Structures are given as C-alpha cells and as structure tokens.
Structure 1
Amino acid sequence: MFAPARPLFLAAAALLAACSPAPEVPAGEIAASAPVIPDPALANGARAGTYMLDKYHASLVFAADHLGFSNYVGQFTRFDVTLHLDPDAPQDSRVTATIDPTSLIIPTPPEGFLEELLGPQWLNTETFPEMRYESTTVTLTSPKTAKVDGTFTFLGASHPVSLDVTFNGAYEGFPPYDPNARAGFHAEGRLSRSAFGLTYGLPPEGSTMGVGDEVKFWIDAEFTGPPVEVTETETSDSPETP
C-alpha cells in the first residue's frame, strides 16, 4: 500500500548472493554463467488500482494471554479485504475489511467450548455477525513499512485500531499464468477487548488469573489487482487465430 523499495530489494539480493556458498568448479574450468539475481521489476512492480483479497493466500491469527502461562491462539478463516492502492501516493491508499466471527477455529477445543466462544458471553455472533475495519490514514515509516490507522467495529462498538504493515512485494502481472497485478503484505496490531465491551473472563486487577485484555493479531495476505495492459506491439506480435 506504499511505494516499492527497489534499492532494498537489490541490496538483499546482492547480500544473499554474497553469502551463498560458491559452487564447486572442477580444476581448470571456469563457471559458465553469473549468479542469478531476481528481477526487481518483477518483485516490486505494484500497479495502481483496486485490489481484492486472494483468499487462498491469506490468514488472520490472534492471541490472548491465558492465566499468564501461555498465549491462547485462534484464527478466523472467512474474511474479505478491498485495497485501493496508489504506489505513487501511498498516503492516499485505503483498505476496508470484514470478518465473519462464526469462522473462528481454535486448536483442539474441549466439547462445547467453541460454541461458548461464539455465544453471548464472548463473540455474541448471533447479535453481531460481522466485524469491520476501515482505514482512515496511511503514514509511511520506511520505504517498505507503514502505519495504517483506522476504525474497528466489534460488538456494536467502534474504536481506533492501528496496523503496522510491511510491504512484501508486488508485480504488475505474470501472463499467462497470473495476468493480474499481485501484491503481498504482512500486518500486525493489538487492541483492548474491554474497550469494545468484551469483559468476560478478565483477570482481577493485579492478577493474571483469566484471559488477558490485550488481543494481538497478525494478518498475511496477497491481493490481485488490475490486469496487465497489452500494448499494440504485443498484440501485433501475437499469432493470428485461424
């Protein structure tokens, strides 16, 4: 959701090449080819436009403290995101996301526990069947990172929530296999569940005997965007259809 960082990409590629063990070359022979370095244009060619979530390559994971002994981890498997991306003016980019809370999965739940979490004491999914996030501002913090501020609506309450976002890379399209633009991001953040009215199970003050107020979350997502524009030259070079 921000400008590509080609110098960083090239530096990383050069570093990897320098750190890689040199191939064994028989005595008297010279290596026939130079090390292969990925094309930075392929990895960082973000195109402006509207991007939709690639649900086959996306995950939303969260964690909350349990008794001070561990992080209890869960995941929502049904969510959708629309990204309006402008690499030339990243501060004008914006994102909207919706989450289906009934898609919650947790590891090896005791019998009836998942239903309890979806019930009125916790997520109350019957009354509030959707969570929603809408960005308000995007601020670059480095060539590959940004802070995204927005409003999260949960259990009927709306409060500010910030995301720390890392741009993983993009390309304008890779026809014929993937003719649409593609971009990837990692985002993470945290929120106070009590701010949204979810106070059940909170530890007594000064204690960890319960489920913590702070909820941490991580999002990894790929997006598909506008298709590659075919030039007149490319069209004329294409074989004619009989």
Structure 2
Amino acid sequence: MTRSPFLCLVGLLAACAALAPAAGEEAASVPAASADPLPAGTYRLDKYHASLIFRVDHLGFSYYVGRFSDFDAVLSLDPAEPSRARLDAVVRTDSLGLENPPEGFRDTLLGPEWLDAAGHPEMRFQSKRVVVSGPDTARIEGDFTFRGVTRPLTLEARFNGGYAGHPYDPNARIGFSARAVLKRSEYGMTIGLPEPPFNMGVGDAVEVLIEAEFTGPAWKGAPAPQRNNNR
C-alpha cells in the first residue's frame, strides 16, 4: 500500500528522534497531535489508508481471500452524538483483486454467475441507523445493494482513534476497523453452493473485513504558515 506523505514524514522524524544527540544538542522530537475535540462535519475516505477484503470457505479446507481496490466512502459524523452518524460507501465490482489466480479465473468471477460486474458495476452500502455498543464500538445498520438486490446488512465497527489535527496534517483524522457477514445466496449468487450435508463447494457466508481512515474538517488550531523574511 502506498504510504501518505504525512506518515512518511512522521516516520522520518521519529527515526531522527531515536538517534543519540550530539554533544550539547537536544534530540529531535515529533510534534504532538492536537488535543482539541474531534470536530463535527463530513469525513471522507483516505484511500491511501483503507482496505476492503473478503473471505469465503473453500471445501471446508481453507478460506479463499480476495479484495476490492476501487471504493469510496463519506461519513457524516458528530462525535458528540455518534448514533446520528451516516455512512455512504460504494465499491467498483470490477476492481476485484486475487492472489495468484489461475488463468481466466478472475474473468469467471466477474461474469454473470458470480459478481456480474458488467450488469451491476457497483456495490453500495447506505447506513440507516448506528447503535453504540461500547466505549469504542458500534453496529452500523444499513442497506447493502449487490447484483441488483438490496438487503439489510450490519457492520460491526471499532473506533481506533483520531485527532482534530496535527502540525503535519491540517485536517481531522479518524480510523475504524469493521466486519460484516452476508449470505451470497440472498443476492442471487448460488453457483458452487455445497449440497447439505456436504461441504464440497464454496460457502454461502462471505466475511467482509474493512480498515479505513477518514479525513475531516480543517484543523482550526493549525499553526499559521511561517513567513519567509528573506523575501
């Protein structure tokens, strides 16, 4: 995954800070993030720091893993009232990525019996309700549209942290991990389902794993740009 310029810079500064200082000098330090409360507003997905992975049972022997690389999301959030948050996410079906697929296998999965990327180029999730389930967890209940079928789906989400801003990052930033499980048969994808009581086939349950960072409103307390006195 490509690292953002911000994280590359912070990593460089952290490495410099770890070096022993020269005689009479103080060690460099990484500036701290803002302690201001997270602002309310619109948070947009940072695609450089997001992943969308799925896995499904294969013959009962292992889980077959794939991912989608082209997706976007917008989160409307007031941290003081998290239950009123709204999430809208869209995934390009043809952005499917696989590990070492046999020749032609990806095209098969994009075909009409599986993902049907030509007929339904996008998948979409739209939240309807957020239920706070713990100090840093919530259930995001909404509608998921896949292969032209819309059904309820719940994301089990964990808030990993955030800040209102950083000297090297002029916007608010928050991070989440989320998990959901759906039955592909409910969306008309029945090919390869095992015949009970056997497991010879591809499982019905599909587990979805999401890692995502969002950037939000500009940091009101951001340091003012320094002027060049030589000009």
Alignment TM class, shorter chain as reference: 0.7 to 0.9
Aligned residue identity for 2:99: P
Q: Is 1:139 the counterpart of 2:147 in the alignment?
A: no
> SS of the residue aligned with 1:223?
strand
Q: Radius of gyration: which is bigger?
A: 1
* Moved beyond 3 Å, runs of 4+: 39-45, 237-242
Alignment size in residue pairs? 202
Identity %: 50
Q: Is 1:189 the counterpart of 2:208 in the alignment?
A: no
Task: Give 1:229 shift.
Answer: 1.3
Q: Is 1:173 the counterpart of 2:194 in the alignment?
A: no
Q: Is 1:160 the counterpart of 2:152 in the alignment?
A: yes
Instruction: Give a deviation string over 1:165-195, Cα, whole Å, max 9, x none.
Output: 00000100113x1101000000001000000
Q: Indicate the residue corresponding to 2:24 in structure 1.
A: none
Aligned residue identity for 1:112: G
Aligned 8 A contact 2:180 2:208 in 1: yes
2:57 pairs with one of 44, 60, 65: 65
The equivalences for 1:92-241 within 5 A come to 92-175=84-167, 177-230=168-221
Q: Which runs of 5+ in 2 are unaligned?
A: 1-30
- How many angstroms apart in 2 are the aligned matches of 1:112 and 1:43? 52
Q: Indicate the residue corresponding to 2:13 in structure 1.
A: none
Q: Which runs of 5+ in 1 are unaligned?
A: 1-38
Structure richer in helix, relative to its length: 1
Aligned 8 A contact 1:76 1:103 in 2: yes
RMSD between superposed Cα atoms in Å: 2.4
Q: Indicate the residue corresponding to 2:15 in structure 1.
A: none
- How many angstroms apart in 2 are the aligned matches of 1:44 and 1:152? 35
Aligned residue identity for 1:181: A
Give the TM-score normalised by structure 1.
Answer: 0.78
- How many angstroms apart in 2 are the aligned matches of 1:220 and 1:201? 29
Give the TM-score normalised by structure 2.
Answer: 0.81
Q: Indicate the residue corresponding to 1:31 in structure 2.
A: none
Aligned 8 A contact 1:75 1:105 in 2: yes
